[in-house]
Homo-oligomer: A and B are copies of this chain.
Amino acid sequence: MPKTGMEPIRRSQLIKATMAAIDEVGLADATVLRIARHAGVSAGIISHYFGGKDGLLEATMRQVLSDLGQAVAARRSKLANGSPRDHLGAIIDGNFDRSQVSGPAAKTWLAFWASSMHRTQLQRLQQVNDQRLYSNLCCQFRRLMPRDAARDAARGLAAMIDGLWLRGTLSPEGLDTERARRIAHGYLDQLLAGYDTSPASSKETA
């Protein structure tokens, strides 16, 4: 059934199929055949659209990174002229967005973390993403405190976010988003104590 303009459709299909396969059996057993079956297409099509399996995996990681970026950006765009605390809270919540907590996304994240230690292509993507989270946090803390204090606050909050996400993902019960957000926001309150005036506002933005 070849209509024209299938490329973006197939690319999207195959990327989703890759995440589904990783969710099912892990990256090690996510063969091109299995991925192709998930997308309902032939195995050969992967080389056609992505040049090979490696290209598909890189494209998949780009997608996951992009999803995270958008989840954060969507929340922050609602905060024109918001306080630093508002922006930091939005960054926290964005990192615990549905799209990042689901099985396929979570297991894909883990697999790519491990792979990025040995594949320079993935490593660069990984570093850009880590740096982005850190910079965003640091930038907001800088509005309230001196440089060195802001840096350590950003490092601490970044670690807290990733750590809560990691332990929740590895846990058999899965990530308790509510609780993770509560702990992260609590830590944020402590970091900001003495620096801003607003009383944490204890909001319920999900």
- Residue in B closest to A109 when the chains form the complex, CB atoms: B114
Task: Name A113's contact: one of B27, B114, B115, B180 (CB within 8 Å).
Answer: B114
How many copies, total?
Answer: 2
A62 within 8 A of B: no
Q: Is residue A117 contacting chain B, with contact meaning CB distance below 8 A?
A: yes
CA distance A118 to B28 in the complex (A): 10
Q: Is B163 within 8 A of A159, CB to CB?
A: yes
**Segment of A12-20, A83-91, A183-191 engaged in the interface with chain B:** A183-191
**Listed A/B pairs (11) with beta-carbon separation below 8 Å:** A27-B28, A27-B114, A28-B118, A107-B117, A126-B170, A130-B167, A156-B183, A156-B186, A156-B187, A161-B163, A162-B167
Chain A residues at the B interface, C-beta cutoff of 8 Å: 25-29, 107, 110-111, 113-119, 123, 126-127, 130, 152, 155-156, 158-164, 166-167, 170-172, 179-180, 182-183, 186-187, 190
Complex Cα spacing A99 to B19, Å? 33
